[in-house]
Structure 1
């Protein structure tokens, strides 16, 4: 039961609960002799019921005054889900719309659409652990892996400041992998990269990422928020055009991800509806059995103890009010 009290010294009063078992609180009645009266099981049962009620009332009152509570605990549960790190691009281009301009009127920027849809995604995932990271020039560790939805949604909302000019996706991925490494459970592991572009990843960083991805299975999803009129992930350069990471970073980042020999999938979205569909698809794909632990906080049980004491006292009061005093009858009357 994991029960405890705030003032253990008061438990020294618990022996007082034995008093009703040895001494009745009912009014004593005198009689000349009981030898001629047959045994009455009902009266015996009522007598012991009242004695036990008195013991219960004293015990419950002492426990309530002592601060009875149930200790916090961790419960192991099972469900379907994954341990997900949301890696969100915070470069300045994310503050533009999918049309590539500053939002006007009721228009929604790419970052605002991503935040809205990711929060909806989390709201419908009951058993996931979610961590949040962001990147532009440098990576930002926003929220460690947690099962608390409110914290994850607040972390996503916190990424609403104007972004910087650069996109350092390599260091952002390295941070996401570190967040996954800190979790030792056997759950399915996922990194969701949300970005509207890519940048060249240094060769040394590529090798570091390759080694990190090889250490344990991680599913990688790239949600590419494509600006209208810009090259896509699968765009092939025309003859004579440069086909280099500098000229076509998205195409080469996709090729790098495919070379990692991991479970990887890219989604190309040109409007909020496409983003919503991509996130829904990721949700369907990540439905693996998962074991997770839920932390149950300390629970105050004083009210329960006092409620039991009151119920026992009501029984005793009712019995007391039902007492009838025997009036001796004079001889010859």
Structure 2
């Protein structure tokens, strides 16, 4: 069991626990000659016991004032998983259905369906570290990497708030990569990009992203939520369409293939296909992972005060039963006088 204190400077008062051995609060009775008092082992034992009780009371009170606790330490565990950053598109089109219209009745928007399925994905991976970032016109750090699933689920629950219409995937990827540690080669990094549109990335930003992916060694999964009637990742260009402006999704997919990293794209056109894609990601990202877990901390201040109460009660009881001894009055009887009888 790991013990700790919040206020170690208070322990400088511990020498006060020796005061009961230097002085006693009990009444002293003067005796003219110790030879007149017989040896009393019981009294000597009570005297020593009361001094020990006083020492314990002072020591426990000082310990309580230092705010002791146990637990709260970090322990290393080994599991199966990865460090996963969920990079979520918050553009306005994510609040439409896969059919490209406002949800009505029991219909789910793309954002709501993704949120529901990501919650299940997180629940199946208790040993992963999850981070959440979002993007539309600008990226937003929602939650840094953590193993607290309640916080991750809360961040995902807030992911369907409407953003702006512009999709700046390049800046979102840059933020997602910056959430990893570049000096830990033993950690497996994963970015799960969820978006319903592509974006044109200028050559300078492409070079920067390529360098960042090489530095952080992250796998990339692109979950593309295709709206009915829109261009897809794998569509062949028609006449005059073979440009990034005309088919940004296709050219974004081709750019990801040139990054030299483990990359896989999923094109989903319904919530069922989104669920299947997430299940495949779940099955692929199963690597040994070392993670730290903080044990819960328990405050021992109350226990210290309660323990100090026992010797204090003993001292109080001894004080209450203390008897006051008054000096006895001796009666002098004069011896009979010697003389003649009359």
TM-score w.r.t. the length of structure 2 is 0.73
Q: Tell me: CA distance 1:15–1:215, structure 2 relative to 1, closer, same or farther (3 Å).
A: closer
Q: Tell me: CA distance 1:124–1:60, structure 2 relative to 1, closer, same or farther (3 Å).
A: farther
The equivalent of 1:79 in structure 2 is 78
Q: Tell me: CA distance 1:181–1:205, structure 2 relative to 1, closer, same or farther (3 Å).
A: farther
The equivalent of 2:222 in structure 1 is 222
Q: Tell me: CA distance 1:54–1:83, structure 2 relative to 1, closer, same or farther (3 Å).
A: same
Query: Is the CA contact (8 Å cut-off) linking 1:122 and 1:149 kept in structure 2?
Result: yes
The equivalent of 1:166 in structure 2 is 166
Higher mean C-alpha deviation, range 287-296 or range 221-230: 287-296
**1:73, CA displacement in angstroms?**
6.2
CA deviations on 1:241-273 (whole Å, 9 max, x unpaired) are 734333333232222212212111122222223
CA deviations on 1:160-215 (whole Å, 9 max, x unpaired) are 33232222222222222223357757411111100112122222222221222122
Higher mean C-alpha deviation, range 184-193 or range 119-128: 119-128
Query: Is the CA contact (8 Å cut-off) linking 2:132 and 2:142 kept in structure 1?
Result: yes
**SS state at 1:159 partner:** helix
**SS state at 1:14 partner:** helix
Q: Tell me: CA distance 1:69–1:182, structure 2 relative to 1, closer, same or farther (3 Å).
A: farther
Taking the aligned partners of 1:219 and 1:49, their CA distance within structure 2 comes to 69
The equivalent of 2:61 in structure 1 is 61
Q: Tell me: CA distance 1:111–1:194, structure 2 relative to 1, closer, same or farther (3 Å).
A: same
Taking the aligned partners of 2:264 and 2:222, their CA distance within structure 1 comes to 6
Higher mean C-alpha deviation, range 162-171 or range 259-268: 162-171
Task: Provide the aligned length of Structure 1 versus Structure 2.
Answer: 316
The equivalent of 1:309 in structure 2 is 308
| Residue 269 (str. 1) matches residue 268 (str. 2) | yes
**1:294, CA displacement in angstroms?**
4.2
**1:305, CA displacement in angstroms?**
0.6
The equivalent of 1:129 in structure 2 is 129
Taking the aligned partners of 2:249 and 2:308, their CA distance within structure 1 comes to 71
TM-score w.r.t. the length of structure 1 is 0.75
The equivalent of 1:138 in structure 2 is 138
Higher mean C-alpha deviation, range 17-26 or range 125-134: 17-26
Query: Is the CA contact (8 Å cut-off) linking 2:71 and 2:297 kept in structure 1?
Result: yes
Q: Tell me: CA distance 1:192–1:46, structure 2 relative to 1, closer, same or farther (3 Å).
A: farther
**1:102, CA displacement in angstroms?**
0.6
Taking the aligned partners of 1:173 and 1:133, their CA distance within structure 2 comes to 9
The equivalent of 2:251 in structure 1 is 252
Query: Is the CA contact (8 Å cut-off) linking 1:67 and 1:301 kept in structure 2?
Result: no
Alignment of 1:46-57 (within 5 A): 52=52, 54-57=54-57
RMSD: 4.0
| Residue 211 (str. 1) matches residue 192 (str. 2) | no
Taking the aligned partners of 2:158 and 2:195, their CA distance within structure 1 comes to 17
Q: Which runs of 5+ in 1 are unaligned?
A: 322-333
CA deviations on 1:269-315 (whole Å, 9 max, x unpaired) are 22223323322332332232323344568754311211322355577
Q: Tell me: CA distance 1:11–1:196, structure 2 relative to 1, closer, same or farther (3 Å).
A: closer
Taking the aligned partners of 2:280 and 2:313, their CA distance within structure 1 comes to 60
The equivalent of 1:326 in structure 2 is none
The equivalent of 1:147 in structure 2 is 147
